[in-house]
Every structure is written in C-alpha cells, then in structure tokens.
Amino acid sequence: MVLNKKYKNLNPNYFTRIRPEIKKYDAINLSEGFTGFHCSNKLVGLVQKHVSEGLNQYGEAYGERVLRERVAEKVSKLYGHNYNPETEITITAGAAQAISTTLSAIIKEGDEVIVFEPTCVNTVPAIRMNGGEPVFISIDKSNFIIDWEQVQKMITANTRMIIINTPHSPSGAVLNELDMLRLQKIITGTNILVLSDETFEHIVFDGESHQSMALYPILTQRSIIISNFGETFHVTGWQTGYCLAPEEITNEIRKIQEITISRVNTPFQLAFADFLQYEDEYLGLNEFYQKKRDLLNNLIEASGFVPIFSKGSYFQLLDYSGISSLNDMDFAMKLISEYGVALAPLSIFSHSKPDKRLLRINFAQPDEIIRDVVQRLLSVKHSK
C-alpha cells in the first residue's frame, strides 16, 4: 500500500514522544498541563446524577443550552459583555479543538496569522493545515513583554488574525490593560481578527486581574475567545471548553464543528452547567495557585535553577544556565533519566531554537510532590 501523505511535516508532539521515557524512568511528570488534584466530589456527583438519569444521548449540536446560558452569565458578571447563548456561544471539546476549528473556519490559503512565540504546540500546525502562513514574533525572553511596535510593522494586507494567550503558557506572563489598548489600536480599521486563548482566566497572581477581550467592546466585536473547564476544575481529561464570538463568526465555527466532532459529551456538559453556580469553586483559584507558586520558588532558591516568576497560569519557567550548557532538549532528557523529573523544554514552544536555557514546570501539584521534585532538582550536578 502506497500512502500519499497529506501532512508530511506533521509529527507527534514532544509530550507524546516523551511519555515512554517518563514511564521507563518512573519520572514525576511536571512537563504537561494536567493538574495533580482530584476534582470536586460535588462535580463528580453531578456527572453521576445526569448519567444515572439516562441523559447519555446526543445533545444539542452547539452545546447544551443550559451550559451556554451559564457561561453567558459568568462572562457578563466578570467582564461586563453580554453574549447571546443562542448565537454567540459554542461548547467545544476543549481548547485545542476550539482553536483548530476556529482556524479552519476563518483561515484560507495565503492568510497570515501573527503568532507570539513561545506558543502552544498545537497552534502553528493548525494554521499550516488550513493553508495559512504563521508570522512569528518572539516575545522578549527576559520579561515576556510583547513589543507592539514590532507587531505594527509586521502587519500586511494579508494579515488575517493575531493570536494571543493570557495568562500565557509557557511563560506565565499576563497581558495588562495597556497591552489590550495597543492591540485595539492596531486592528482598528482593518479586517484583522483576534483569537484569544484565555484558558487560565481564573489564575492570575499578585492582585492583578485578567484582561479578557470581553472587557473591551471594540475588541469584542473582532475577537474569538476560547476557554476551558479542564484546567479550572482539575478535569483536563474531560476535554470540555467554550468559544465566544460574534454571531457571524460563530456561524462559521459551528459549521466546521458539526462536521468534525458532531457533539460534545452530554452529561458532562450538564454537570458543568450545574457546577458553575458554585462560584467559590473557581473564583478562589488565584490564591490557591499563588501559594503553590510561592512554595516552589521558596524551596528552589537553594538550587542553581533561577525562576522567572509566573504572573498567571500554573506554569513557570526555570533558568538552568548556571547549571549546564546543554541545550534544553538534552537537559530535559538528562533530568528524566538521571533525576526522575520531567519538565518541558522551552524550544518545543517555538519554531526557532531559543538560545536561553529555560524549562517549563507545572506547579499545579500537591505540596508533597512539589517538595519531592525540588529535592531532586537540588541534587542536580553542575556541568558546563
């Protein structure tokens, strides 16, 4: 059989490739994005309730109406914009599917998409699969601040979309009000859309607030906002999220989604709809995860790893340049095989190979896991 490969340049991502090594060395996996906590018993009970009631068949094509209504209520209360749950909110099978579907609906051959690197490992392949051309802009690796003057210079007649992510993975950087206003100025008077990944909207530290596109009426008119329930409620494996967009854009996204995935899991949607009424289950995440971040950073002070303090999400970068001259891929493998710790090399989030030696760590873990990992990192031998 001769297979004419359609996507010759697509390969399994780093996390898929590295799992056998993690298993082989019984390493603690803090490289990926799942949390180390059990979800609320209340949420489990709600899933069981809806399953036992027999609500296990196909649901509504674009998400259960009650869940779309709950999302609309949440967004209105937090950010002040009223999305129509009937025409502007779509329930998706997680954030990655929402991003891929959005790109499929909007990007055509020859369109340029501005991507800030480092970025999610799924974003660039999804752009290219749809005939788009990613235009890479590197975020300053010392503070992860976007240079908006550079963005303005990169705009062309072919620019169709700008993709942002705040709070940002892998760096933990957070965009502020000035960033939003600069973005707004750039797209005003153009046909450029913004795709905003706001998966970690409820995890922002040090008294700062999440700057959602939904806070800015002008941006809202030209934006697709994507968020996810998994990271918020410790159920990343349930793969349920949502997409907010003006009706005209939503219509195009829904066309693609209905063809590709048909429906999202019915009883889980109904459980999330019930659970969103308990605001204390997610509005307290800032303080919860800030304590995790601070514990990690206090413990790791005695090592040669230098943290670049996270301002949001449950990720943080560690600079190991004072420990080793190995590139980040090789050093990450060394940590797995010799110290039993799996962290993510920064280079997997970038098409270029950054010269800085940085690894991403996931601190969404019980305190005892954080302590165990840091103890292992403290024993890492210096080698230049």
Domain ranges of the chain: 14-39+283-378, 57-281
Residue 268's contacts (CB-CB under 8 Å, 6 or more residues apart) are 47, 238, 240
The stretch 38-63 carries a mean pLDDT of 92
Contact in structure between 148 and 180 (CB atoms under 8 Å): no
pLDDT class for 86, splitting at 50, 70, 90?
Answer: very high
> pTM to 2 decimals?
0.94
The stretch 62-91 carries a mean pLDDT of 97
Contact in structure between 182 and 134 (CB atoms under 8 Å): no
Question: How far apart are the C-alpha atoms of 199 and 274, rounded to whole Å?
Answer: 20
Q: Over the stretch 10-45, which tens digit does the pLDDT of each residue have?
A: 777 888 889 999 999 999 999 999 999 999 999 999
Sheet holding 89-92, edge to edge: 89-92, 241-244, 223-228, 193-197, 159-165, 112-117, 133-138
pLDDT at 372 over 80: yes
**376: closest CA among 327, 343, 328?**
343
The stretch 300-324 carries a mean pLDDT of 94
The stretch 303-318 carries a mean pLDDT of 94
CATH number attached to the domain at 57-281: 3.40.640.10
Identical topology for domains 14-39+283-378 and 57-281? no
pLDDT at 1: 61
pLDDT at 3 over 80: no
pLDDT at 11: 73
Relative to beta strand 241-244, strand 193-197 is: unpaired
Contact in structure between 165 and 203 (CB atoms under 8 Å): no
Q: Would you say the C-alpha torsion 340, 168, 40, 281 has a positive or negative sign?
A: positive
pLDDT class for 263, splitting at 50, 70, 90?
Answer: confident
The stretch 52-81 carries a mean pLDDT of 93
Residue 30's contacts (CB-CB under 8 Å, 6 or more residues apart) are 341, 342, 343, 361, 362, 363, 365, 369, 373
Q: Over the stretch 217-238, which tens digit does the pLDDT of each residue have?
A: 999 999 999 999 999 999 999 9
Across all residues in the chain, what is the average pLDDT? 93
pLDDT at 8: 66
pLDDT class for 353, splitting at 50, 70, 90?
Answer: low
The stretch 48-55 carries a mean pLDDT of 92
pLDDT at 355 over 70: no
Q: Which residues pair with 162 in a beta bridge?
A: 114, 194
pLDDT class for 338, splitting at 50, 70, 90?
Answer: very high
Residue 256's contacts (CB-CB under 8 Å, 6 or more residues apart) are 101, 104, 105
CATH 3.90.1150.10: does it fit domain 14-39+283-378? yes
pLDDT at 2: 64
Question: How far apart are the C-alpha atoms of 324 and 336, rounded to whole Å?
Answer: 15
pLDDT class for 4, splitting at 50, 70, 90?
Answer: low
pLDDT at 164: 96
pLDDT at 356: 76
pLDDT at 381 over 90: no
The stretch 149-159 carries a mean pLDDT of 96
The stretch 79-95 carries a mean pLDDT of 97
pLDDT at 370: 97
pLDDT at 140 over 80: no
The stretch 311-336 carries a mean pLDDT of 95
Span of 95-109, 129-143, 179-193, 251-265 with lowest mean pLDDT: 129-143
Residue 221's contacts (CB-CB under 8 Å, 6 or more residues apart) are 246
Q: Which residues pair with 267 in a beta bridge?
A: none
Q: Over the stretch 287-302, which tens digit does the pLDDT of each residue have?
A: 999 999 999 999 999 9
